[in-house]
């Protein structure tokens, strides 16, 4: 998984370089947020635009830490906050429903990978699916109470959803069309874009500002 993160970072850095943009990545430990030891926000130089990537799935084993993370993010005064949401990330539904949604989400992911890269299935099952399901079970054991929907937490913390531009939507469609196999498509949902496989949601993305 660390190799995948490094590859993603390299691709993002190369893309920024092609646009003549200076790019720097800062990682924040969720454990530090939970312990309250994160202290002051990260140092941001004047004139530097801050963008925050906040995957909702990172908080599935401790939903309450999302509120603390949003408080921390707001102090950074970011230009934009990007959130990624999967069907398995919901903690506002009963535990049984969450497990069913997670299995549905993961089955769609496996089917799509089987069509694109069947050789990677075993690694995905071992390093993504199994830990993901274990994290869901552990998270609900530690925090059995249902939490408000994550979008409600964003709004109550002072964040507002932004609409995607036509250019962004066309870029998403273009990337999907470059996939070597069919079956993938983009669906627009109010203030989010969803990547789907054979009408099954894989992941959705939304952008926010504070």
Q: Domain count for the chain, please give it.
A: 1
pTM of this prediction exceeds 0.75: yes
Distant-in-sequence, close-in-space partners of 33: CB < 8 Å, separation ≥ 6: 65, 68, 69, 72
Residue given tokens 């950074």 in the structure block:
76
d(C-alpha 126, C-alpha 123), whole Å = 5
Cα-Cα-Cα-Cα dihedral sign, residues 155, 207, 169, 86? negative
Nearest one of 25, 143, 30, 151 to 85, comparing CA atoms: 151
Structural domain boundaries enclosing 138? 2-209
pLDDT per position as a tens digit, 177-192 = 888 888 899 999 888 9
pLDDT per position as a tens digit, 105-142 = 888 888 888 887 777 777 877 887 788 777 777 766 66
Computed over every residue of the chain, the mean pLDDT equals 80
pLDDT per position as a tens digit, 26-69 = 777 776 666 655 555 566 677 788 899 998 888 766 656 788 88
* pLDDT band at 2; cut points 50, 70, 90: very low
């Amino acid at each position: 998984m660390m190799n995948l993160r490094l590859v993603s970072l390299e691709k993002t850095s190369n893309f920024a370089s092609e646009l003549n943009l200076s790019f720097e990545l800062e990682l924040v430990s969720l454990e530090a947020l939970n312990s309250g030891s994160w202290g002051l926000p990260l140092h941001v130089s004047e004139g530097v635009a801050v963008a925050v990537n906040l995957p909702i799935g990172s908080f599935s084993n401790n939903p309450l830490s999302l509120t603390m993370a949003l408080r921390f993010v707001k102090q950074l005064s970011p230009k934009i906050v990007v959130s990624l949401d999967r069907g398995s990330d919901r903690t506002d539904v009963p535990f049984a429903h969450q497990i069913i949604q997670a299995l549905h989400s993961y089955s769609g992911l496996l089917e799509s990978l089987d069509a694109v890269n069947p050789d990677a299935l075993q690694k995905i099952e071992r390093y993504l699916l199994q830990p993901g399901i274990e994290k869901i079970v552990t998270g609900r054991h530690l925090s059995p109470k249902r939490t408000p929907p994550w979008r409600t937490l964003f709004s109550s913390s002072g964040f507002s959803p932004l609409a995607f531009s036509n250019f962004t939507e066309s870029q998403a469609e273009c990337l999907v069309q470059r996939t070597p196999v069919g079956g993938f498509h983009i669906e627009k949902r109010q203030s989010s874009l969803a990547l789907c496989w054979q009408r099954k949601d894989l992941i959705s993305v939304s952008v926010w500002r504070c």
